[in-house]
Amino acid sequence: MDTGTPFASALERAAHHAKVFLEGLDEIPVSAQVTYEELIKRLNRPLVDAGVEPATIIDDLAADVDGGLTISSSGRFFAWVIGGNLPSALAADWLTSAWDQNAGMFAVAPAAAVAEEVAGEWLKELLGLPKTASFAMVTGCQMAHFTCLAVARHALLAKHGWDVEKQGLAGSPPIRILTNDQYHATFELAVRYAGLGTDALVTVESNADGTMVPEALEKVLAESDGPTIVQLQAGDLNTGAYDAFEALIPLAHQHDAWVHVDGAFGLWCAASPMYRHLLKGVKHADSWAADGHKWLNVPFDSGYAFIAHPEPHSASMSIRASYLIHASEARDQVDWNPEWSRRGRGFPTYAAIRELGRDGVRDLIDRCNGHAHALVTRLGQLPNVEVASEPIINQGMVRFLDPKPGATDEDHDAFTDQVIASVTAEGEAFFGGVTWRGMRCMRVSVSSWLTNERDIDRTVAAVKRHLGAASTA
């Protein structure tokens, strides 16, 4: 109902366009269909003196971006690890903007602080993490890594008599960071942001699936008794593989190392009795980074940092200022987060968890994993397709083999990229490529609550069609 106020008319138009977009998800091409030049032509309007009526801007915006959006909420979007939007999370996200809370402190935004506190407790339970862990809701796994590293830096250096918040890092005991060879690029960025420097990264020998070899970790740990961080993986980016937490974490702790776990999407398997065994022992780590905007299907931006040791967590993040009103009972986000002013990003997570409940989260995980397995297996049955990595959770990889006689590995690499590009350009499904163990592969990631069997059928048919066309070209 348009009451005639600027808010009402702009929001009505936004709701209309959102509804048209979301109800058409199944039919519109999954990839953007207009060029950069076209988007610039549409959006690069002259900056004029007089402003424009809000509802008109919303109508113009919807028309201008038409065909220029990647439909990552579609059930046939399998690139990277992105996920869609649950209805309540999306709606709560709209309200978050309408309410425009500065969710830094209880005194500034009481309901935002409490919703976040409650959602944080729910997350710990769903992800199988200690009840006593502290947490921060940040923009994504990237900032979750940073938050965890800032805390690790504080705790490790304090043991060496160094106050990093006061003294900085110049002249401090150097921190080593032991990882497998497949760590996510955002972890490396976090290492840079935390001032630890990429020279601190030491690669520990990995198995073929990217998981760390315990004997190799033990050997590297014994090489120094300086401050050390061990980064482990709960769900490798490409293979979905899990490190052997039960063996690796006690080893690291014997050497007083801090164990950080990248569980951007893989930590969610804790919510499923079928997959929970993959995470055995993970709760003994010191920090964990995960995402909401991937597998929980909440809108961007939503990442979570969890820390087993609340004291160094608040010591590294919190600050006091005379003009602030610090809560005595409630939870102030500023004590745990790297940001000051910030979005009330607890609301969409709160809504998503309520919408799904424990059963719904378990179902989401089981369903996505089942679809990933079916998709990779069925693609692998097509001629000239090789399964490079069979999904153990929701990630897998296939490779397309150039059928021409005498084709080399380079030909197969080029052919794989050609098929990915051709499927994606048409827009029936969206995939990304990766160089894995020296070969080009197509990554398959199923993270959307919307993906169903029909999506898998349509996708297999599309790949078959494009593979056939590329083979006879």
Ligand X SMILES: Cc1ncc(COP(=O)(O)O)c(C=O)c1O
Instruction: Point out which residues bind ligand X (CB under 6 A).
Output: 80-81, 140-142, 184, 186, 237, 262, 264-265, 291, 303
**Torsion angle of the four alpha carbons 84, 88, 90, 95, in this order, in degrees rounded to the nearest 10:** -170
Could you give the CA distance from residue 149 to residue 137 in angstroms, rounded to a whole number?
15
Between 264 and 317, CB nearer to ligand X? 264
Report, in Å, the least distance between residue 142 CB and ligand X. 3
DSSP string, 370-404: HHHHHHHHHHHTSTTEEEEE--SSSEEEEEEPP-S
Report, in Å, the least distance between residue 367 CB and ligand X. 19
Could you give the CA distance from residue 102 to residue 104 in angstroms, rounded to a whole number?
6
Report, in Å, the least distance between residue 140 CB and ligand X. 3
Closest residue to ligand X in the complex (CB): 140
In sequence order, which residues have a C-beta less than 8 Å from that of residue 154 and are 6 or more positions away?
Answer: 164, 165, 312, 315, 316
Report, in Å, the least distance between residue 217 CB and ligand X. 19
Report, in Å, the least distance between residue 414 CB and ligand X. 25
Report, in Å, the least distance between residue 188 CB and ligand X. 10
Could you give the CA distance from residue 161 to residue 165 in angstroms, rounded to a whole number?
12
Between 81 and 442, CB nearer to ligand X? 81
Between 190 and 196, CB nearer to ligand X? 190
Could you give the CA distance from residue 173 to residue 225 in angstroms, rounded to a whole number?
11
Report, in Å, the least distance between residue 443 CB and ligand X. 10
Could you give the CA distance from residue 273 to residue 362 in angstroms, rounded to a whole number?
8
Between 288 and 400, CB nearer to ligand X? 288
Could you give the CA distance from residue 99 to residue 211 in angstroms, rounded to a whole number?
44
Report, in Å, the least distance between residue 210 CB and ligand X. 11
Report, in Å, the least distance between residue 61 CB and ligand X. 25
What is Dmax (Cα atoms) for the chain? 76
Between 119 and 232, CB nearer to ligand X? 232
Between 207 and 422, CB nearer to ligand X? 207
Between 294 and 412, CB nearer to ligand X? 294
Report, in Å, the least distance between residue 107 CB and ligand X. 29
Between 73 and 418, CB nearer to ligand X? 73
Report, in Å, the least distance between residue 181 CB and ligand X. 14
Between 140 and 338, CB nearer to ligand X? 140
DSSP state of 213: P
- What is each CA distance from 24 to 84, 163, 166, in whole angstroms? 14, 55, 55
In sequence order, which residues have a C-beta less than 8 Å from that of residue 125 and are 6 or more positions away?
Answer: 131
Q: Which two tokens stand for residue 103?
A: 């969710």
Closest to 173 in 3D by CA, of 238, 71, 54, 256: 256
Between 236 and 455, CB nearer to ligand X? 236
Whether 412 contacts 467, CB under 8 Å: no
Between 85 and 418, CB nearer to ligand X? 85
Handedness of CA 24, 29, 32, 33 (dihedral sign): negative
Could you give the CA distance from residue 186 to residue 317 in angstroms, rounded to a whole number?
20
Closest to 54 in 3D by CA, of 20, 3, 96, 14: 14
By CB atoms closer than 10 A (0-12, 13-18, 19+), residue 70 is: middle
